[in-house]
Structures are given as C-alpha cells and as structure tokens.
Amino acid sequence: MADDEAAARPATGGRHAAPEGFGPPPAGYGPQAAGAGGTAPAAGQGGWPTVAGGAAMPAAGAHAAQLQEEPDRYPMAVPAGPAPAAGAEAEAGRARGGSHRADGRRAAGGGGGGGGRRRAARSASPAPSPGGARRGGRGRRAKPKPSAGILAARTAGELFMTFGVVLLLFVAYQMWWTNIRAHAQAGHDVNSLEKSWNGQKTQKDPRDPGAFKPGQGFAIIYIPKLDVKAPIAQGVDKETILNKGMVGHYSGPESPDNPSGLQSAMPWQTGNFALAGHRNTHGEPFRYINKLAKGDQVVVETAATYYVYTVTSTLPVTPPTNIGAIKPIPVGSGFTKPGHYITLTTCTPEFTSLNRLIVWGDLTQTRPRKDGKPDALMHG
C-alpha cells in the first residue's frame, strides 16, 4: 500500500523535494501544508523520509523511544522529542524574522543609539562603594603641600650646594689652571730672552738702572735644588708680572706691591738684588724656598754673565711692612757692610698673604756667559 501511494505522488523537484537517500514527503507535510491548516501525518503512514539503506525514519513524536534506543539505525534523525506543530513552527519563524529585522534597523540607525544605550547603562550602574574608591584612588591621591619651613630648608640646601660647586671650580682654577697658564707664559718669556741674548753681537750687561721698562724681562733665575727656572722682570706688579709666572725685581716706584717704592740693586751693582715671587698658584716659582738651607745655591743669568749666590740665612716669618729685609744691607740677614746680596721674598703661610718668608744669599761667583754654564748648573 505504501508503494502504491508513493507511485501516485508526482516526483517534483520543488522546495520539499526528497533529498537523495530519502523517500518523498507525505501529503500535507511541510510548511505549506501547515500554513494551509494541514498537520503532520500520523504515525505509521507511508511516505516518511528514509535513511540510507532503505530504512524508514519514524516520526519524531510516535517513535521517540525507538530513536533513543536505536540511535545508530537512524543517523540522520533529529533528537528525540515531539515534532513541533506546523503552526507553531511557522510562528517561530516569523518571530525570528522580526527579531532579525529589528536588529538590522538598530544596526542601520548608527552608533548614536547604541552609544546612548551604553551611556544609560553606565549611568544606571551602581556607584562603587566608598571603600573601593579609596582603594582604587590611593596611588593618585594629591600630595600635601610642603610647609614653609621645609621650603626654606630646601632652598638653603640648594644654595649651599651651588656655593660648594662654585667654590670647587674656583679652587680648581686657582690651583691648576693658573699654574698651567703661568708656566706656559714663563716658558715663552725665557725662550725669548735666550734668543735675544744669543743674537747679540756683543754680550754685556747694561749699567743704567733705568735700562728696563716695568714688566720687561731682563734675567733668568735658577734654583737647582728646587728645579726652578723662571724669568725675572722689572717691577713686582701682581697682575702684569707675578701672576704671569715671572719673578719680580723690587725696582720702584711706590705701588701697592712695593709700598716703600724701594729701588733695589741689579746683580752687577753693589747692593741687594731683591726679588718677589708667588708661593702658590700662578706658576708658584717660590713655593718651596722654605726648603733652602745654608750653602744652597741660586743662579741669576743675564745677557752677559752668570751670577752665583750662596744661601746664608732665612727669616721664616715677618710682616709685609718689614722693608728693612730688602735694604742695600738687609736688616736681620747678618750682613754688616755693603756687598752683592740677593733677597728672595714670598708669602707665608701657604695660600695666604698674611706674612712674608725671606731667604738671603751672598754673591760667591761670576762667570761670563760666553764661557758656558757655572758648575751649579752643570748637574742637570
């Protein structure tokens, strides 16, 4: 009977055509039948789809128990449970279609509506608890303003630090850079003197006391024990002579560096050849004259002659006003009659100008420059 009914139905390839491996759907089955008031065929009617192999697939509602007991026999079967009525299935489809259209309208409406709903949702969300707000904002809490005392202490500390840096820079300049510049200047002056002397046709020392202008170099001093070699210039001006690494000759006129205005003798003259030099900074040629002792030698080279002096005595400390130390017969030196003397003066203690340190010597040898260096300079 089932075969006769199947033969009577035309095999259409429409929307509800039987897929390959299944029999044709029975009359009145499908959405069209359901929409026309039809119902699913009763259990046991022919025309239900068949699974591969020719086995008929039972109705979902009539044979749910059989599907659950024999799932391997019907691999294409739907899960067990009653088949939905055609009207209910159509109603569900219309509901789904309406939902999709509504979603489409919302999407087409742009982000404004969605943003408004999201803002509304955020505004409707409950506010965080006070404890949570404190925990979350602990890292961003505003720091309290420092008090006036703290600000003053910070300012004072910064000023002291700045002052300390400036002081260190000044010390470095005085102790290091001024020596470099002064040594370079003094070396240049020594070379200039030696070159000028070697270029002279006749070498002789001028006898006129005013032969040299203030600041002009005219001799070179050697202190072999201290490895000192420096130019000697006319005058004792601090800026133009002493700060340039040169040794100054007390030659007047009166000035802050030579308050007495005393005119001391030249090496080739009878009297006291008085000299001044820095003990610290600016070349410091007399820094270690405190180490000179009786019997040490000091050599003065001029255009024509080497003058060799031997140290006789020292005066460790004396006031700057003690002008008697550089008189023709120096007071306190032990000399009692006119002669050819040398006096070296410098500041003491070191790094101050409170007092003066004095070294005296007596001329013990002269040697023409053309005859070569004296023995006092031959060890080097």
Strand 305-318 versus strand 297-301 pairing type: antiparallel
Burial code (b: 16+ CB inside 10 Å, e: under 16) for 157-194 equals eeeeeeeeeeeeeeeeeeeeebbeebbebbeebbeebe
User: What is the pLDDT tens value at each position of the chain, 380 positions in all?
Assistant: 444 444 444 444 444 444 554 455 555 444 444 444 444 444 444 444 444 444 455 554 545 555 555 555 555 544 445 555 555 555 555 656 555 554 545 544 444 444 545 554 455 455 555 544 455 455 577 778 888 888 888 888 888 888 888 877 777 766 777 778 888 888 899 999 999 998 777 667 776 656 788 899 999 999 999 999 999 999 999 999 999 999 999 986 666 656 656 789 999 999 999 999 999 888 899 999 999 999 999 999 999 999 999 999 999 999 999 999 999 999 999 999 999 999 999 999 998 989 999 999 999 999 999 999 999 998 75
Which DSSP state fits 174? I
pTM, two decimal places:
0.58
**Mode of pairing for the β-strands spanning 217-223 and 297-301:** antiparallel
| Cis peptide bond prior to 79, omega within 30° of 0 | no
- Using DSSP's 3-state secondary structure scheme, residue 299 falls into strand
The ranges assigned to domains in the chain are 1-98, 181-377
Indicate the DSSP class of residue 173. Answer: I
Architecture in CATH for domain 181-377: Beta Barrel (2.40)
Closest CA to 258 of 310, 309, 307, 323: 323
Q: Which residues are catalytic?
A: 278, 347
Helices (H), 44-177: 64-69, 86-108, 111-124, 130-136, 148-172
Look at residue 176 and give its three-state secondary structure: helix
Yes or no: say if 179 and 281 are a contact pair by the CB < 8 Å rule: yes
Q: Is 370 exposed, middle or buried (0-12, 13-18, 19+ CB in 10 A)?
A: exposed
CA atoms within 13 A on the CB side of 53: 7
